[in-house]
Amino acid sequence: MQMPHFHRTHPLRTLLAAGLVLLSAVFAEDFFSGRGGQAPSYAEQPPLVTIEKESVPLAQLPETVQVRMPEASGKVVYSGKSAVIDASNTSQGYVMVKYTGASSKVKLQISGSNRIVYTYDLHKGSYDTFPLTSGDGNYQLNLYEHVRDSQYSLAMNQTISVKLASSLLPYLYPNQYVNYSAGSQTVAKGAQLAAGAENQLTIVQNIYTYVVSHITYDTQKANTVTSGYLPVVDNILSSGKGICFDYAAVMAAMLRTQNIPTRLEVGYASGGIYHAWVSVYLEQQGWVNGIIYFDGKTWKLMDPTFASSARSSDSIMKFIGNGSNYSTKYVY
């Protein structure tokens, strides 16, 4: 009797066959349920999208800082018998004037669109730089020569039209009140204090701390200073003494040369004291008027003279922190 012949089937083939039967059943169910012809959902592939890597905010300052210096380039010049006005770079926030006459006392008055009249002393032989702090528009420049007592005669007048490239530029250049050169000792010290700082606020804090701890109030100078006094920032820094005007000028020089727009403001403190202080522009906050520091809740008014004189006592710091204690008259 002949035995039936059985073919030996490989287990993998058995599994594949079972899978095909199951797949056929699925398609058959789709067909009878009205879903015939659709591929199974697990076979669908979503569209691909491109996702770029996000940059990491490092909050770092530029590696190099430009020390802006004014220039009488001679492109736009107005000449009179006793003075030359160079208005070539008014878009940068300044005008330069040189007195060439014979008078020993000369006054320059500048007024802009806000009609505030700024009065300066002019010195013979070289250009002086004056800020254009009234914004865009026409500025009137009047030059007066001394006649007698407090009387002066108009020697030259000129109207100039100004369109600022940026409203911050008048506070990034030196001028007659905040006067320095690129090689100034004060500029070098400001760069040293800013080295390694991670942001602008840290630079402000470093410079403020240095000024109030290294310069003391000069009472004798305050009692003898006369009208027309101008700070010489390097002399103030080396002597370690100064009046309010000096404190503000030193800080403004250091901050401006670290590319932080800084206003030197003159006006009245509570009680009628004629005083000077500074305000700065920070990229993240904008203008911080009378900044001293941010304590996590409020900005404190940065007035380096009062803070230094009282060694930052609580009562003085509370007075400084109240902006209503100050009334601004001029901005340089």
- State residue 301's pLDDT score: 44
Across all residues in the chain, what is the average pLDDT? 80
- 60 CB contacts (<8 Å, ≥6 apart)? 198
Which spans in 156-303 are helix H? 185-194, 200-214, 219-224, 233-239, 244-256
**Section 2-10 average pLDDT:** 48
Instruction: Provide the pLDDT confidence category of residue 53 given band limits of 50, 70 and 90.
Output: low
**Section 57-67 average pLDDT:** 57
Query: How far, in whole angstroms, is CA 105 from its chain's centroid?
Result: 36
- State residue 142's pLDDT score: 97
> Distance between CA atoms of 227 and 90, rounded to whole angstroms?
28
φ, ψ (nearest 5 deg) of residue 91: -65, -20
**Section 176-202 average pLDDT:** 94
Res 296 pLDDT > 60 = no
**Section 41-57 average pLDDT:** 57
**Section 320-324 average pLDDT:** 60
- State residue 267's pLDDT score: 82
Res 77 pLDDT > 50 = yes
323: β partners: none
Res 294 pLDDT > 60 = no
The answer to whether residues 174 and 186 touch, using CB atoms and an 8 Å cutoff, is no
> Distance between CA atoms of 294 and 287, rounded to whole angstroms?
13
- State residue 297's pLDDT score: 33
Lowest-confidence range among 109-113, 132-136, 209-213, 272-276?
272-276
> Distance between CA atoms of 191 and 206, rounded to whole angstroms?
11
Lowest-confidence range among 122-131, 155-164, 273-282?
273-282
Decide which of 297 and 212 is more confident. Answer: 212
